Chain A
């Protein structure tokens, strides 16, 4: 069982057997007058990796950070900008020139209610966040308007980070049996699209219910859900709660 830390706890900057800490991530803050200690400001499990320390915080409210990939909903258009709801405290905005190949004569076709997958270009706590759908070379690389016919749902930020983690096997295990597309936004929104509605609902339910299942139990969990989908008999373990 991993050891958790709560706000107000003090942890040490240097850890025996680990590289010297050079980057302090979210959930930890430096203490005045105590340069070799860190104050925990968010509850979670402390992670240490390659000279970085941070807290793995479980949260549902998204705070924009520069460089995040998010899924947003177009709420309105204001002249040269679109107002995008990314689930944060402020409405984000994106210029119509921030799409691939967009010029003043060639405008992107966005309507109110459309979904876009964008990157946060600028985010501070004092200003509304700014989004962009191109990278530094002007290429979209998967960003832009999401196609119609999909299904978007909201989850906790922890689940999205888990899905995007390279060690997670959830999506590859689902992909063995169901063909689907998925886009995960760091702001806790996931967009999926499948061949038919039944499979889309199955994928949604698998992702949603996997939030508090430990990683070693994921293969058995996915197998069970797939069996449910195809009507195969499932051996009811006493350990599983429905």
Chain B
């Protein structure tokens, strides 16, 4: 019995759904982002580095609190909280901010697949808007596997009918190559399928980082000095 692993090159034509973002739109948040990924809409607000109660305070590093909310109930928020916490802890220079807390709040407004990936993208854009010290950028990519085919950035219908769903978080730094810093899987899969999905997601993450650069270019390059 020969198991054929999916060919990544067959799906290089796949593209992410359209991404749109607006920064600094919440007046009371220190950093905020409204992200639209296809039909998935998510808002993220970050406050901090701010005050923290003494019971939660850590003397040597930053405390990151993530609150992810869905429009209906609290299902599945623990998983996304962990993904976000891992990506933020890896990226934000937590040694630089001891004894303070960073509050990250995400609200999912419209659900159409890839909620975890959109949450990761919104959190990174909000952190860039906040201006906190980071060692790089991160983004989220979701891959679905259905009947042996890899689907990049699936919509809700594809997520429901998929055999396996992978969510990857990638970290980008010019000093080293893009690497995976967190991942979450649903379903049963072969390891070769996982590797093929990761390679495809890694390719797609370059598009997300280019999108970040475009958004920040539009915001930061206003000539206010001379």
Contact = CB atoms under 8 A, between A and B. Distances in A.
A126 interface: yes
Interface residues of A, number: 38
Contacts of A216: 223
A14 B207 CA distance: 31
Interface stretch (B7-15, B36-44, B48-56, B183-191): B48-56
B212 A215 contact: no
Contacts of A171: none
A131 interface: no
B174 A8 contact: yes
Contacts of A9: 174
Contact of B175 (A1, A39, A57): A39
Interface in A3-47: 3-4, 6-10, 27, 31, 39, 41-45
B175 A215 contact: no
Interface residues of B, number: 41
Interface stretch (B64-72, B96-104, B156-164): B96-104
Interface in B196-223: 212-213, 216-217, 219-223
Interface string B132-165: 1111110000000000000000000000000000
A91 B100 CA distance: 12
Contacts, number: 115
B174 A89 contact: no
Given A61-B49, A89-B49, A126-B98, A7 B134 contact: yes
Contact of A41 (B93, B219, B220): B93
Interface in B108-147: 128-137
Given A8-B173, A41-B133, A167 B226 contact: yes
A39 B136 CA distance: 9
Contacts of A61: 30-31, 47-50, 130-132
Given A41-B135, A167-B226, A10 B175 contact: yes
B75 to A, nearest CB: 32
Given A8-B172, A61-B30, A214 B100 contact: no
B224 interface: yes
A175 B49 CA distance: 36
Nearest to A41: B133
A58 B226 contact: no
Contact of A4 (B97, B132, B217): B217
Contacts of B225: 56, 162, 165, 167, 215
A65 interface: no
Contacts of B174: 8-10
Contacts of A91: 51
Contacts of A10: 174-175
B131 A57 contact: yes
Given A8-B137, A60-B31, A90-B51, A44 B213 contact: no
Contacts of B129: 58
B48 to A, nearest CB: 7
Interface string B14-45: 00000000000000001100000000000000
A152 interface: no
A4 B129 CA distance: 13
Contacts of A212: 222, 224
Interface in A82-133: 89-91, 125-126
Interface in A40-84: 41-45, 56-61, 63
6 contacts: A2-B221, A3-B221, A41-B93, A42-B134, A90-B51, A165-B225
Given A61-B31, A126-B99, 4 more contacts: A4-B220, A42-B132, A126-B59, A165-B225
What 5 A-B pairs come out closest when comparing CB atoms?
A8-B136, A59-B131, A7-B134, A8-B173, A89-B100
